[in-house]
Structure 1
C-alpha cells in the first residue's frame, strides 16, 4: 500500500516524527505536493485548514487528516476526510494504516473519527521513549510534551494533556548526533525533567552536559520558556553551556487582571523580573504579546503597550493579534479592535525596527501569502 504525506508549511516536524513511527511499522510516508496513491495523510492547523478542505474532499485516494485543527474539530474534519486522527499520532496512525491495508478500517479505532462511526476516543498517551523524534527525515529535537498550564487561548494542553512527559537524556543525546546545532521542541524548555511547575535545573544541566558535542540553542526558536522560570541559576546554565544569547518567553499581556483571566499562571512582575535578569546576564529578551484579547479593556491595552515599550528598551517584542483557536476556552470569541493610539504606537515601533509581528492580519504570523500554505 502506497502511503503519502502532503507537504504543508508548519507540519514538517510532525512529518519527521510520524515518518519515524510509521517506518517502524512497515510504512514509508512519501512526501507529495498533491493527494495521490492509495492513502495521503495531512496535518492541519486552524489557519491552513480552510485552504486544503476542498483538495481533501476531492482527493482521488483515501485521506487521513490529523493535527491541531483535526483534534479540535474531529467531526467537522470528518465531513470531508475519510479518517481523522485525534491527538497524538505515533501509535494511532500506524494502527489505522494497518487496518486500512487489511480492509478492516470500518471498525472503531481508538483515536480515529469517521463520518459514519463518529469519534472513538484515544486509548493511550504516547510514551516518548518508545518513539524516536525522527529517522530519515530530520526534525527538531522534541524533548517534552504536555503543559500543566491551561492558558485559555492555547491548544497545547488540549492536544497533549496537562502532564509533562520528557524524552530521556541519553536518547536526546543520541538523536542530537545528527546535528551540529541542537534546537528543541518543548512547551517550556526550562521545565525539562520536571512536573512543569517546579523547575529541575539539575536535569537541565545533565541534558546540557550530555550534548557536549553540539552547539546548544535553548529557550529560543522553535521553543521558549515561561517568565517565572527565568532565574539566576537558569541563566547561569544557559550562558555557561549554550550558544544562544537571547531568550524567548511569553508575557502576553501587561495587565495582571487579563493574565488571570487567561489562566497564564504568572504575573506582570514575573515578566519584569525576567527582563531584569536577562539584561544582567547579557541575554537579549525576546518577548511575545497578544493584542486584541476579548477580555482586554482600554486600561489593559494601555498597560500592555507600556510593557512592550519597556521590553524594547533593551530587547525585542513579537506582537500578535488574538486568534480564537478551536478546542480552547476562547474558541469563537472575536478579537477586540485595537485603539487608534495603540495602532499608531505599534506602527511606529515596527518602522523603527523595535517590534515584529502581525497585529493587523494574524495569518502573517504563519505564512506570508496563501501559496505558503501549500509549499
Structure 2
C-alpha cells in the first residue's frame, strides 16, 4: 500500500466520540481520489505521536478537535501542549462542534488554524478531497496569509439519511441520532441555533438499517440521540405517536429478542407536556428502560416563559405524577441561576424540587451557563446563593438530587469572561427583569 497523502488525527475524547463517529460514518462511504489514513489520539501525547508519524511520512496532517463551550479553555491549553510536542508547516488544527460554530473568531484566536462552522459531514469530505486545502470549501473560518479573516459560511444541511450515524468502517458505534434541530429554540440551548429551529428526522427505514448493522455485530442496546424524544416524526410541537410507534416497533423487531431498546432516557429526554398515559404505555410496550428524563428547567412560570420553554410548571407536576403512577423512575432536569431570577423564582424552583422528590422523582441539577450561540450568551453566569446551595445539598444527601451543577458554576464564570472578551454589539440579552416582591 502506498504512503498516505493525508493523515486525519482525531483528538479522541469520550465526551465527543459521537460527533467523530458521525464524521467517520460519512467518510467511510465516501469515494475520493485522496489516499488517507485515520488515527485516534486518546491522549495529547498519543495525538502528538500520530502527528509526528504523519509528518515523517510526508503527508499533510489534519488534526480534528471537537469540544463543547465549557471545555473550550481547557482544550486551548491542550492544543498548545500538542503543538509543543509536534508541529510543522503541513499540520493544520481544525476545531468543530457547537463552540467553534458559535465562536469561530474566538476559536481561531485561541490557536486553531481553522474553525468548522455548522454541520461537519460535507465539510470533512470536501477537505479530504482537497487534501486539506480549505480554499473554496464552505463551512469554514480561517485567516489567510495576510491575517485577514475568511468566512465561507455554514455548510449545506443535508438529510440525516444521507450519512450513516456511526462509523462502520472503523467499528465505532454510539447512540443513533434520529432527530437534528429543535423547533422550541429555548434561549439557553445551543442545539436549535447550530442546527436550525426545525426538526430533521432520520427515516424509520434508515434507522432499521442501522439496527440491523448493530445486531449483525453482536450489539444489543439501541439508544437514541434527539433533543426531544416524542417529537420524532413531527414538524411542530405536537407529537406524532404513529411515527414514534413505527420507530420503536421496527427497532424492537430489528434488535431481536435478546436486544434492548431505550427511549426517553439518556442521552435524550421527553418534554413534560408530551407525557401522557398513552405515551408512557407506548414506551413501556416496546422499550426496556424503566426511567425517563423530563426537562423541567425551572419551577417558576415567569422564568419558563422568559426562556421560551413552551410549557409551565403544572405540566411538569403532571408529567412526574403520571410517570410514577405508570411505574417509571422519573429524572427531572432543573437549571439553577437562570437569568433574571429573583428570590421568589428561586424559592419556587426549590419548592418544586422538594415536591417532586417527595413523589419519588430524582432531580438532575444544573447551573445556568451563558452558552455561545444562544440568545442568553451575554447573560450573567448562574449565581447559586448559599441558601440555595444548602437546600440542594440536603436533596443530594437524601439521594433525591444529582448532577455536576457545582462544576458548571465554574464553567459559567469562564464562559462569561470569554463573552466579555468577544462582545456582541447591539445584541439583546432578552433577559426578564428582576421583580421586587413584597412578602405575602
Report the TM-score range of the alignment, normalised by the length of the smaller protein: over 0.9
Within the candidate set 182, 185, 199, 2:239 is matched to 199
Identify the residue that residue 329 of structure 1 maps to in structure 2: 375
How far apart are 1:364 and its partner, in Å? Answer: 8.8
Identify the residue that residue 112 of structure 1 maps to in structure 2: 140
CA shift in 2, pair 1:301/1:21, >3 Å? same
Report if the CA contact (8 A) 1:17-1:139 is conserved. no
Map 1:113-128 → 2, pairs under 5 A: 113-116=141-144, 117-128=149-160
Q: Secondary structure at the match of 2:406?
A: coil
Within the candidate set 105, 113, 131, 1:75 is matched to 105
Within the candidate set 206, 211, 228, 1:176 is matched to 211
Identify the residue that residue 94 of structure 1 maps to in structure 2: 125
CA shift in 2, pair 1:123/1:64, >3 Å? closer
Q: Secondary structure at the match of 1:132?
A: coil
**1:67-119: CA deviations, max 9, x gaps?**
11101101111232122111111111111232244xx43x2421111023421
Q: Which has the higher helix share?
A: 2
Identify the residue that residue 15 of structure 1 maps to in structure 2: 20
Report if the CA contact (8 A) 1:254-1:303 is conserved. yes
TM-score by length of 2: 0.79
Report if the CA contact (8 A) 1:215-1:243 is conserved. yes
Higher relative contact order, chain-length normalized (CA < 8 Å, sep 6+): 1
The answer to whether 1:188 aligns with 2:197 is no
Report if the CA contact (8 A) 1:47-1:363 is conserved. no
Map 1:111-150 → 2, pairs under 5 A: 111-116=139-144, 117-134=149-166, 135=168, 136-150=171-185
Q: Secondary structure at the match of 1:361?
A: helix
CA shift in 2, pair 1:123/1:337, >3 Å? closer
Equivalent pairs counted in the alignment come to: 363
Gaps of 5+ in 1: 366-375
**1:215-271: CA deviations, max 9, x gaps?**
111000111111111112111101111111111011000000000111111111111
CA shift in 2, pair 1:223/1:30, >3 Å? same
Q: Distance in 1 between matches of 2:37 and 2:315?
A: 46
Identify the residue that residue 372 of structure 1 maps to in structure 2: none
Q: Distance in 2 between matches of 1:97 and 1:55?
A: 25
Q: Secondary structure at the match of 2:95?
A: strand
Q: Secondary structure at the match of 2:15?
A: coil
CA shift in 2, pair 1:217/1:321, >3 Å? same
Q: Distance in 1 between matches of 2:230 and 2:154?
A: 29
Q: CA RMSD for the aligned pairs?
A: 1.9
Q: Secondary structure at the match of 1:91?
A: helix
CA shift in 2, pair 1:364/1:11, >3 Å? farther
Within the candidate set 182, 195, 198, 1:160 is matched to 195
Identify the residue that residue 368 of structure 1 maps to in structure 2: none
TM-score by length of 1: 0.92
Report if the CA contact (8 A) 2:123-2:155 is conserved. no
Name which one, 1 or 2, has greater alpha-carbon Rg. Answer: 2
How far apart are 1:123 and its partner, in Å? Answer: 4.6
Q: Distance in 2 between matches of 1:188 and 1:197?
A: 10
Report if the CA contact (8 A) 1:323-1:335 is conserved. yes
How far apart are 1:363 and its partner, in Å? Answer: 7.0
Q: Secondary structure at the match of 2:10?
A: strand
CA shift in 2, pair 1:48/1:338, >3 Å? closer
Bigger drift between 263-272 and 76-85 goes to 76-85
Bigger drift between 297-306 and 210-219 goes to 210-219
